[in-house]
Amino acid sequence: MSDLKKIKDEYLNKLDSDLNIESVNQIKTELFGKNGQISNSFKSLGSLPTDERKKFASDLNSIKDELQDKINSKLQEIETQEINSKLENEKVDVTLPEREFSRGKIHPVSQVIDEISSIFSEIGFSIEEGPDIENEHYNFTALNTPDNHPARDMHDTFYLDNNKELLLRTHTSPVQVRTMLNGKPPFKIIAPGRTYRSDSDQTHSPMFHQVEGLHIDKDINMGHLKGCLNYFIKSFFEVDKIKMRFRPSHFPFTEPSAEVDIGYEIKDGKIVIGEGDKWLEILGCGMVHPNVLKNVKVNPDKYQGYAFGIGIDRLGMLKYGISDLRAFFETDYRWLNHFGFDPLDVPSNYRGLSR
């Protein structure tokens, strides 16, 4: 027994020292090899008297287990050390740039259209669209703007034929006409899109964007119009309070008509929408003229409602502090990158309109 103890202590001691894999394997052979000390001890079991054999065998087994565990853990320890020292050599400079990625952008006009659609969707409006090329009838006559009406002069129209029959729509209002002619009331739509006027300077661009709104039902009155626009403006500018002013105005296709101003102030050279004592005109609206309803075969004695038209580009400029309208359409890569939106930024009611 004392021999066994001696062997055990000797080898445990050895295994505690600094060893490589070969020396550990050497030790393994010395103990458990064919002529290993432990193997030999097992062989000697048979020659022991019965009463001693049992005790000896039990001691031997526990020593064997202890040594084997020690050897295994030693081997593992060495392996871990070797991997670690290998990894140490593989170290890279992680401050080097990542692999290239490219990030696209959504144009502010598209983003604002999505914002507007999201807001109006919340209050039950659906989206209609119409062609960019219109005929004189849908763009003017059906909208109670006959040829001899001076209001036509307010629209500098692009024409596609010498008879002035075909033109680029000057507003999104013809979508009202098309929608009502193709359906039955009630109507509750918005119609965003491109519009054109032959007008070009610092604040006008020959192409711009408008969103038309139309709500026709049995008892839609000017109070609903006010409520709808108030809700929209508050939601769009993401403010709790908004100062709004409805001012009488004139459009041939609505009566009574109004222009809507919102309050603003200049803070640190920037426009702040909401409060303030200055007024900014942002849209035109009114109750759809009975003549228009007649023109689209809707009975004005049964149905009534409102319509409005808002400049999309201008809304975007106000909300996102863009100062030059013409830049919207000039495709300057730097401008698109700066004012563009991440494609994952989809405006929605539950995630919020803008980040």
Partner 1 sequence: MKFTISWLKEHLDTQKKDNELIEKLTDIGLEVESFENVSSGLDSFKVAKIINTEQHPNADRLRICDVDIGLDNIVKVVCGAQNAKKDLLTIYAGPGSIIPKNNMKLSVSKIRGVTSYGMLCSESELNLSNESEGITELTASKYSDKIGKNFFKSNTEKVVDLSITPNRPDCLGVRGIARDLAAAGVGKLKKISLKNKKKIRSQKIKVSITKDKNQGCTVFGSCLIEGVTNKESPQWLKEKIISLGQKPISAIVDITNYVMFDLNRPLHAYDADKIDKEIIVRNSKKNEIFEALDNKEYKLDNDMCVISDKSGVLGLGGIIGGTRSGTEIKTKNILLESAYFIPRSIRKTSKLLNIDTDAKFRFERGIDPQSIKLGLSKAAELISEICGGKISNFDIQQTDKHENNKIKFNISLFEKITGFKVNDNEIIKILTDLGFEVSKKKLEFDLKIPTWRPDITQPIDIVEEIVRIKGYENIETLQPEKTKIKDTLNAQQKLFHFLQRSVASKGYFETVTWSFTDSKINKIFKENLKEIKIINPISSDLDVLRNSIFTNLTFYLKKNLDRGFKDISLFEIGPIFKGSKPGEQLTVVGAIKSGKISRLNWNEKDRIVDVFDAKKDVIQTLVEAGYDRQSFFVRDKSPSYYHPGKSGSVYLDKDEIDPVAYFGEIHPNILKKLDIKTEGLVGFEIYMDYLSENKTKLKDLKANFEYSDYQKSERDFAFVVDKSVRAQDLIEIISSIDKNLIRSIKIFDVYEGENIPQDKKSIALNVTIQSSEKTLEESDLEKINKLIISTVETKSGAKIRS
User: Counting contacts by CB under 8 A, is residue 132 touching partner 1?
Assistant: yes
Give the residue, chosen from 47, 89, 95, 148, that forms a contact with partner 1 under the rule CB under 8 A: 148
Token readout for 114 is: 């999505």
Nearest CA-CA partner of 262 in 234, 282, 241: 282
Question: Minimal distance in Å, beta carbon 195 to partner 1?
Answer: 10
* Whole-angstrom distance, CA of residue 222 vs CA of residue 306: 7
* Whole-angstrom distance, CA of residue 154 vs CA of residue 185: 30
Token readout for 351 is: 């995630």
N-terminal to C-terminal alpha carbon distance within the chain: 79
Question: Minimal distance in Å, beta carbon 103 to partner 1?
Answer: 6
Per-residue binding letters, 320-349, with partner 1 (x by CB under 8 A): --------xxxxxxx-xx--x--xx-x---
* Whole-angstrom distance, CA of residue 145 vs CA of residue 157: 13
Pick out residues in 220-239 that bind partner 1 (CB under 8 A): 221-224, 226-228, 230-231
Q: Would you say 2 or 95 has its CB closer to partner 1?
A: 95
User: Counting contacts by CB under 8 A, is residue 352 touching partner 1?
Assistant: no
Pick out residues in 9-38 that bind partner 1 (CB under 8 A): none
Give the residue, chosen from 56, 140, 187, 308, that forms a contact with partner 1 under the rule CB under 8 A: 187
Q: Would you say 33 or 256 has its CB closer to partner 1?
A: 256
Give the residue, chosen from 4, 141, 290, 322, that forms a contact with partner 1 under the rule CB under 8 A: 290
User: Counting contacts by CB under 8 A, is residue 287 touching partner 1?
Assistant: yes
User: Counting contacts by CB under 8 A, is residue 94 touching partner 1?
Assistant: no
Q: Would you say 70 or 314 has its CB closer to partner 1?
A: 314
Total of chain residues touching partner 1, rule CB under 8 A: 89
Give the residue, chosen from 34, 86, 91, 103, that forms a contact with partner 1 under the rule CB under 8 A: 103
177 CB burial (10 A radius; 0-12, 13-18, 19+): buried
Q: Would you say 11 or 140 has its CB closer to partner 1?
A: 140
User: Counting contacts by CB under 8 A, is residue 303 touching partner 1?
Assistant: no
Question: Minimal distance in Å, beta carbon 58 to partner 1?
Answer: 49
Token readout for 279 is: 């007024």
* Whole-angstrom distance, CA of residue 92 vs CA of residue 106: 37
Q: Estimate to the nearest angstrom the gap between the alpha carbon of 278 and the chain centroid.
A: 33
Contact 189, 127 (CB under 8 A): yes
Token readout for 132 is: 């960019």
User: Counting contacts by CB under 8 A, is residue 241 touching partner 1?
Assistant: no
User: Counting contacts by CB under 8 A, is residue 274 touching partner 1?
Assistant: no
DSSP helix/strand/coil, 205: coil
330 phi-psi bin (left φ>0, alpha ψ -120 to 50, beta other): alpha
